[in-house]
Structure 1
Amino acid sequence: MDQQFTRTLNLAGASNFRDIGGYQGQDGKLVRWRRLFRSDHLAALTEQDTLALADIGVSRALDFRGDAERAALAYAIPNVRYHALSIEPTVVQRAKEMVLAGEQMTAPIAVSLMQDTYRAFVSHNARQYAELFEHLLEDDRPLVFHCTAGKDRTGFAAALILLSLGVPRPVVMEDYLLTNALYRRPASFNNGAPDEVLNVLWRVQEDFLEAALQAVDADHGGLGQYLERQLGVGEKERARLAELYLTEPVHKKS
């Protein structure tokens, strides 16, 4: 990792805010630092946090939260353009339905629900992820994309971006799993569920992202065809993304 940059930013009001730069992509080039950030929700940022975002030049925020989530925890950041790319939290809805039906949520059921959620990102939410890439292709002004915890909707978004830039899958998975070390789950979200269930719903597992990537391969013929046919990101757009977000590594003199 380039020593002049850090992966995470220590914000008081967001625990999962991080830079996805520095990874090696296609042709040995590196994803540019301080251009692409992923995060949990930004409604609890302090004044000092907003100054930190201004200092790194963040000018766009892309919010994957659903309508009720955005209404409950709305925010506005000075000089940052806000864009809603709504993906409703289907796991939360399914959990509520189970409670109303008198069914018990268990860890295995929660894992299955999470995998179904990730497959749905691929099949049902292509429009929102296509919009994400439209914003990325506009220019290289620093932006942050997020949902509530910055782990699922955001995690799949980060994976798509990094994969489109040629970052290898194992490295993309490592970035995805960083959430488990960073995200601080709010106590208010516990809702009395057992810890074993909460540890599924509020953390990430390789199985979750793998479910989405396997759906991309099995149902859409692989990443390249999915990007082009479902997200409108063909060869020309991928070349533009590389131009905007990849850079030659700096070789230090011995």
Structure 2
Amino acid sequence: MRYLQLCSLLLALSACATHSADIDVACEIDPQNNYLLKWETTPRIEGEVQIYQSTDPERFDTEKTPIKVASIQTGYTLIPDSIPSQRSYFLLRFNGHDDHIVGARAERLKYIENFRDLGGYTSKNGKQLRWGKIFRSGEFNTLTASSINRLKNMGIKTLIDFRDSEDVIKPSPELGLDNVINLPGALHYRQNLLPRLQKEELRRGDANLFMQDLYVAMVSGSKRAFKSMFNQLLVEDNYPIVLSCVNGKDYTGFAVSLLLSALDMPEEVIMNDYLLSNRYFDKRRTAFDPKDCCDGTQEALSLIQTADSRFLSYARDYIRQQYGSINNYLEEELGVTPEKRKQLKQYLLH
């Protein structure tokens, strides 16, 4: 009898150990197009992780046999991309009961820069941003058949495009988008920038000031575009949604920072997402080639092509100085009331 009681106690302690552990999971696509799943537990725990795969992050058939079972202690496993035409998500079940859903942050889509899923971020209240609901990206001007197929299978309904009208090329109708909404920032900064670069009139110090001025100009000069963006985000039938601009870095980066603020994401999460553009944006695929320019112009262009924490911090500090807080700016200038934020969280958090 005492032996049975001891076994029951050990099983209960094992279950409690998993529940009390903090578990972080991540997913990347390696150069061979395998999914690399990684996890870390604090404190370290033993046992197994069952892995289930789905193309719909809201639905996993856990009644079926998992596609793989791995030891928790290994900390990672590789999953071949068995469905190359579709984006996959994974449910990791630790010791039979502690579930974590994850997808690759970025997609490898030829000729599309900086395409990322915003899912998985955790708010200040412990809620997670749903995977597969909202994406951010560079422009969709050039698409291969495989990229079109993969994007189409994500079920994306709405593209919100922040490019100025002179930069806009409509995306391929093969994508099957329900809505293509152009919300130009109306700052025309590329038209002001390129002539100065071509004449080699811009140096690194000038570029820093130029970018800080651009981000501050977005705060006041692009309010109409950002207000319209939130109005579209409040239409449930619009999802999944992609937010896009030329490189998916500046207008899109600032717009996403506002969205994440409205969802009560920590400042660290907001900044880290912004800085990921440095990893997923290929500077070689820009409209201006600096190879024949002087060193000063090359340095200036390199800075302009970078997601620099100073740019976003400068704009967010400016908002706090002018409006008292980010929340005040969202509500008073963009019309994102507490009721609308609550609705947005219902759509995007769980």
| TM-score (ref. length: structure 1) | 0.90
The match for 1:168 among 266, 275, 299 is 266
User: Which digits, 9 at most, give the CA deviation of each residue in 1:50-92, with x for residues without a partner?
Assistant: 211121111100100011111xx43234321201001245433
Aligned to 1:137: 234
The match for 1:112 among 195, 199, 209 is 209
Aligned to 1:251: none
Whether the aligned pair in 1 keeps the contact of 2:119 and 2:130 (CA below 8 Å) is yes
The match for 1:76 among 159, 168, 172 is 172
* Greater share of residues in helix: 1
Whether the aligned pair in 2 keeps the contact of 1:39 and 1:144 (CA below 8 Å) is yes
Counterpart CA distance in 2 for 1:91 and 1:111 is 14
Aligned to 1:123: 220
Q: In terms of mean alpha carbon deviation, does 221-230 or 187-196 score higher?
A: 187-196
* Greater share of residues in strand: 2
Q: How does 1:26-175 map to 2 (within 5 A)?
A: 26-70=124-168, 73-77=169-173, 78-80=175-177, 81-88=179-186, 90-96=188-194, 98=196, 104-139=201-236, 141-175=239-273
Q: Which runs of 5+ in 2 are unaligned?
A: 1-24, 28-89, 91-102
- The structure number with the bigger radius of gyration is 2
Aligned to 2:121: 23
Counterpart CA distance in 2 for 1:144 and 1:41 is 10
Structure with the larger RCO, 1 or 2 (CA within 8 Å, 6+ apart) = 1
- The 3 A distance-change label for structure 1 pair 160 and 167 is same
Counterpart CA distance in 2 for 1:184 and 1:18 is 14
Q: In terms of mean alpha carbon deviation, does 91-100 or 172-181 score higher?
A: 91-100
Identity across the alignment (%): 31
Whether the aligned pair in 1 keeps the contact of 2:113 and 2:139 (CA below 8 Å) is no
| TM-score (ref. length: structure 2) | 0.66
Aligned to 1:252: none
Aligned to 2:325: 222
Counterpart CA distance in 1 for 2:197 and 2:281 is 26
Counterpart CA distance in 2 for 1:62 and 1:104 is 33
| 1:242 maps to 2:242 | no
Q: When the two structures are aligned, how many residues end up with a matched partner?
A: 244
User: Which digits, 9 at most, give the CA deviation of each residue in 1:95-134, with x for residues without a partner?
Assistant: 356469x772101100111011000111111110011111
Q: Which runs of 5+ in 1 are unaligned?
A: 248-254
- The 3 A distance-change label for structure 1 pair 199 and 26 is same
Whether the aligned pair in 2 keeps the contact of 1:190 and 1:198 (CA below 8 Å) is no
The match for 1:190 among 258, 272, 289 is 289
Counterpart CA distance in 1 for 2:220 and 2:325 is 13
Counterpart CA distance in 2 for 1:99 and 1:171 is 33
Whether the aligned pair in 2 keeps the contact of 1:91 and 1:113 (CA below 8 Å) is no
Counterpart CA distance in 1 for 2:275 and 2:262 is 19
Deviation of residue 42 (structure 1)? 0.7
- The 3 A distance-change label for structure 1 pair 99 and 44 is closer
- The 3 A distance-change label for structure 1 pair 99 and 14 is closer
- The 3 A distance-change label for structure 1 pair 183 and 97 is closer
User: Which digits, 9 at most, give the CA deviation of each residue in 1:131-178, with x for residues without a partner?
Assistant: 111111001610101100110000001111111111111111011001
Counterpart CA distance in 2 for 1:45 and 1:103 is 32
Whether the aligned pair in 2 keeps the contact of 1:41 and 1:149 (CA below 8 Å) is yes
Counterpart CA distance in 1 for 2:287 and 2:228 is 32
Whether the aligned pair in 1 keeps the contact of 2:112 and 2:138 (CA below 8 Å) is yes
Counterpart CA distance in 2 for 1:198 and 1:50 is 31
